[in-house]
Amino acid sequence: MPAVAAAEDRVFAALASPVRREVLRLLREEGPQPVQRLAGKFEMARPSFSEHLRVLREAGLVSERKVGRQRLYRLEAVPLNDVQEWLNPFERFWRDRLAGLGALLDRMEEDES
């Protein structure tokens, strides 16, 4: 499997978890945070939460920096841009389909009048 595909798979796997998506949202909205503050927002054992952070790190979605005795986590949004680029053709597909449906409904309305 090409390295690019493996990286994309890690990002999609990381985004599959609601816990990890919430971590990303918190980092986006509140900025970099120590692991203790992040973990305190979830009702789960610390090792389980650490596993979620590991998956996010390996996907490149967060970075970790040691500041004194704390580990500070920060959002790394570049892989999300790759996801958006992957999704763009699907968005165009559905936009075109909905535009076609709108045109059909308009024609049907004209035919009824």
**Residue 32 φ/ψ, nearest 5 degrees:** -55, 145
Joined tokens for residue 100: 């076609």
DSSP for 32-67, please give it.
SEEHHHHHTTS-S-HHHHHHHHHHHHHTTSEEEEEE
pLDDT in tens, 81-111: 888 888 888 888 778 778 877 777 888 877 7
The domain limits of the chain are 1-76, 78-113
> Three-state SS for 74?
strand
Q: Which CATH number fits domain 1-76: 1.10.10.10, 3.40.50.1110, 2.30.130.10, 2.40.30.30?
A: 1.10.10.10
pLDDT in tens, 45-67: 999 999 999 999 999 999 999 98
